[in-house]
C-alpha cells in the first residue's frame, strides 16, 4: 500500500513537471535571428545580393541611417512604398534604389527587438504599393525571410529586372 502512494505521488509530480515544461509560451520566433548587424554590414550584404542584377541602371545601396544623417527624410519613402505604413520601430534598413526614376527598390531589413521577421514580412506583403511612382509601376514583387532578415523587392520586368534573382542570391 505504501508503495502505491509513493508511486502515485511520483507520477503526479512527473505530470506537473511535464505540464510546466510544455505550458510556457517561450521566446517569440524571429525567423532564425542573426547577430545584431551594423548598418554597414547590412548595406554590404545587400550590395552583394544586388551585384550584377541591375544591369546598366545606376543604383545606390545605402542605409536609412546614412540617409537620415544627410537629412533625407526616409519615412516619406517608406510610406510611399508601403501605403502609409510606419517605418518598423528599431529596424535597421538597407536600401538599393536607382539614382534615376525607375520603379525598383530592394530592401534588406533587420527587424527591431521583439519583432518577428515573419510578422514584418507579412506586413510588408500586405501593404506593398507597386504603384508608388506616379508614371511607372513595379510589376514584380517578392519577399523572403532568412536568418532573421527580411528581403523585400519591388521591380519592373520592363526594365529587364527579375525579383526572383534577388531572392535567389539572398537565399543561396
For every residue of 32-68, DSSP letters joined together read: SPPP---HHHHHHHHHHHHTTSSTT--EEEEEHHHHH
User: Would you call 162 helix, strand, or coil by DSSP?
Assistant: coil
Helix (H, G, I), strand (E, B) or coil at 102: coil
Range with the poorest average pLDDT among 92-101, 126-135, 153-162: 92-101
pLDDT(7) > 60: no
How confident is the model at residue 102, as a pLDDT?
66
In DSSP terms, which residues pair with 4 in a beta bridge? none
In the chain, where are the structural domains located?
A: 30-171
pLDDT, one tens digit per residue, over 125-136 is 999 998 877 777
Mean pLDDT of 107-113: 92
The percent of residues in the chain predicted with pLDDT above 90, rounded, is 28
Whole-number Å distance between alpha carbons of 148 and 32 = 5
Q: How far apart are CA 7 and CA 152, in angstroms?
A: 57
The mean pLDDT of the chain is: 77
- Whether residue 33 is predicted with pLDDT greater than 80 in this model: the reply is no
In the predicted model, what is the mean pLDDT of residues 27-48?
71
Q: Among 15-24, 119-128, 148-157, which stretch is predicted with the lowest mean pLDDT?
A: 15-24
The pLDDT score that the predictor gives to residue 34 is 52
CA distances (Å), origin 139, targets 148, 154, 161: 26, 7, 10
Q: What is the pLDDT of residue 61?
A: 80
Amino acid at each position: 500500500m505504501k508503495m502505491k502512494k509513493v508511486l502515485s505521488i511520483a507520477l503526479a509530480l512527473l505530470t506537473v513537471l511535464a505540464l510546466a515544461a510544455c505550458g510556457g509560451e517561450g521566446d517569440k520566433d524571429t525567423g532564425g535571428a542573426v547577430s545584431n548587424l551594423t548598418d554597414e554590414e547590412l548595406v554590404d550584404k545587400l550590395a552583394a545580393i544586388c551585384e550584377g542584377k541591375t544591369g546598366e541602371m545606376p543604383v545606390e545601396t545605402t542605409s536609412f541611417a546614412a540617409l537620415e544623417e544627410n537629412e533625407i527624410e526616409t519615412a516619406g519613402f517608406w510610406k510611399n512604398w508601403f501605403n502609409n505604413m510606419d517605418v518598423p520601430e528599431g529596424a535597421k534598413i538597407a536600401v538599393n534604389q536607382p539614382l534615376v526614376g525607375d520603379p525598383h527598390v530592394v530592401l534588406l531589413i533587420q527587424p527591431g527587438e521583439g519583432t518577428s521577421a515573419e510578422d514584418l514580412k507579412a506586413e510588408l506583403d500586405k501593404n506593398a504599393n507597386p504603384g508608388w511612382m506616379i508614371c511607372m509601376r513595379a510589376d514584380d514583387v517578392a519577399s523572403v525571410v532568412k536568418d532573421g532578415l527580411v528581403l523585400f523587392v519591388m521591380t519592373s520586368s520592363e526594365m529587364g529586372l527579375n525579383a526572383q534573382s534577388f531572392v535567389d542570391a539572398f537565399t543561396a
